[in-house]
Amino acid sequence: MERTVSAADAMITAPGTPLLEGMPRQRTATFPAAPTAPRVPAAAPAPRPGPRARWFLPTPTATPFTFGYAAVLVVTSLFAEYADPSLVHTLYQESSTDVAHLVLSPVPVLVASALWIAGGLTSTYALLFLVVLTALERRIGGRRTAVVFLLGHVLATLATEVPVGLAVLAGHLPDSSLHRLDYGISFGVAASLGALAGLLPPWPRRTVLTVFGGILLADLIQFTDPLSDWGHLLSLAIGVGTWPLVRRWQRTDPRGSRAHG
């Protein structure tokens, strides 16, 4: 049976195109393309956020020295919080950088005294340790930050304890002054803050030195613990004295530019 093609079908079927038997007719007419949606311009990139909070806290990759040291301090602080008080007091005494211990075993006691935080994890120096050493290490690297910290810790300790020993020898102080309790990270932190100030722009530098130096002077005036208070001022001065060194380290450290990114 033959299929008949209507006039309408003939108009949309190209001449000479055979019809397939039993299949719908082949249409060769072209249809207009579907309208495309108007092109929307790409959104402008969002402005780069300011310094992130994590930049002020140590991480194992960016600031390994500060991160590892902070982990040790957390362990010793928790131990001091929950261990037997008599045992903790004994450890404090054995770690004290007094004259008697410095004469017998200077290196071990200087290391041991830096493993404790006077006042625990809630003290001001615990917070300063995290912020200051993290910022300093991001600028000059871990080993150089350790050098600055140890300079403050060791030199300020010797500068405050050696005069005590000499005063005892001269008879100006009793022998009990040789066995005072002295431990903690505060000297190293104060030196690190003083060094960090040298890497800041002028106004932040002056603000940091004025505020922190004023607090230390106020503590000294109160005369609660004059030896430690003098040690903190000396540590800050030691950190300021490292400015030429830390500035050169920042210029030569390839991570120095990343610290401000």
Split at pLDDT 50, 70, 90, the class of 32 is: low
Residue type, 244: P
Instruction: Specify the pLDDT at position 243.
Output: 97
**pLDDT mean across residues, the chain:** 84
CB-based contact 94:104 (threshold 8 Å): no
Closest CA relative to residue 60, chosen from 70, 52, 51: 70
Q: How many residues does the chain have?
A: 261
Q: Name the packing angle between helices 124-140 and 186-197 (round to 10°).
A: 50
What the block records as the tokens of 42 is 């790409």
The model carries a pTM of 0.77
- Per-residue CA distances from 63 to 70, 96, 134, 250, 260 (Å): 11, 28, 6, 15, 14
- Taking the C-alpha atoms of residue 100 and residue 118, their distance in angstroms, rounded to an integer, is 20
What the block records as the tokens of 29 is 């007419």
Residue with structure tokens 């780069």?
48
Split at pLDDT 50, 70, 90, the class of 34 is: low
Residue type, 81: E
Residues 159-212: pLDDT tens digits?
999 999 999 999 988 998 899 899 999 999 999 999 999 999 999 999 999 999
Instruction: Specify the pLDDT at position 81.
Output: 95
